Amino acid sequence: RLHKIDKFERKNSLVLDNLTYILHFGISFVFEWFINIFIKGKLS
């Protein structure tokens, strides 16, 4: 029973790590995209 819980917790932390990574990547992507649009808008 204890082993099962440990396994479950490890799986959860892995999911959290992935979510953090995806969130960070998504924010960076949107930020770059926004800056590109903004700069192009300023130039034209």
pLDDT at 9: 83
C-alpha–C-alpha distance, residues 20 and 31, integer Å: 16
Q: Residue 7: what are its φ and ψ, rounded to 5°?
A: -65, -45
C-alpha–C-alpha distance, residues 33 and 44, integer Å: 17
pTM value?
Answer: 0.48
C-alpha–C-alpha distance, residues 43 and 30, integer Å: 20
pLDDT at 1: 62
Token pair belonging to 11: 């799986």
Token pair belonging to 7: 């396994």
The tens digit of pLDDT for each residue in 1-44 reads 677 878 878 888 888 889 999 999 999 999 999 999 998 988 87
